[in-house]
C-alpha cells in the first residue's frame, strides 16, 4: 500500500509540470502534505532517519497554509526531485526488506 501511495504522489507531482488549472496544484499541495506527514510518521519507527527528515521537510515546504513562493520553474524542479526521491525510497524500502529477510 505504501508503494502505491508513493507512486501515485510521484505521478501527481510530475503532473504539476503540465499547464493545469490552479485547483490541481492546490489538490497536490493538500494531498502531498498529508502523504508526506504520513510517510514521516511511518518512517519514524525505523532506525534510519534520513527519509523521515526528508518527509518532514517536504511536508513543511508543500503545505497549503503557509505557502512558499518559489516561482514556477523552481517548483517544477522541486516536483521532479520529489518524484525521484519517492521512487528511490521505494527501491530503498525493498532493499531493506530483502536484507532483513536474509538475516
60-70 pLDDT, tens digit each: 999 999 989 99
Total domain count, the chain: 1
Which range marks the domain in which residue 14 is found?
2-102
23-58 pLDDT, tens digit each: 999 999 999 999 999 999 999 988 889 999 999 999
Whole-Å CA distances, 100 to 9, 46, 82, 95: 27, 13, 26, 9
- Please give the model's pTM, rounded to 2 decimal places: 0.89
Task: Please give the DSSP secondary-structure letter assigned to residue 70.
Answer: -
Amino acid at each position: 500500500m505504501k508503494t502505491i501511495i508513493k507512486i501515485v504522489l510521484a505521478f501527481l507531482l510530475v503532473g504539476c509540470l503540465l499547464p493545469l488549472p490552479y485547483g490541481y496544484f492546490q489538490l497536490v499541495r493538500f494531498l502531498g502534505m498529508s502523504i508526506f506527514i504520513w510517510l514521516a510518521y511511518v518512517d519514524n519507527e525505523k532506525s534510519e532517519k534520513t527519509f523521515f527528515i526528508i518527509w518532514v521537510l517536504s511536508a513543511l515546504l508543500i503545505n497549503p497554509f503557509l505557502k512558499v513562493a518559489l516561482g514556477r520553474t523552481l517548483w517544477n524542479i522541486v516536483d521532479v526531485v520529489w518524484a525521484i526521491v519517492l521512487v528511490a525510497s521505494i527501491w530503498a524500502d525493498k532493499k531493506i526488506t530483502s536484507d532483513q529477510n536474509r538475516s
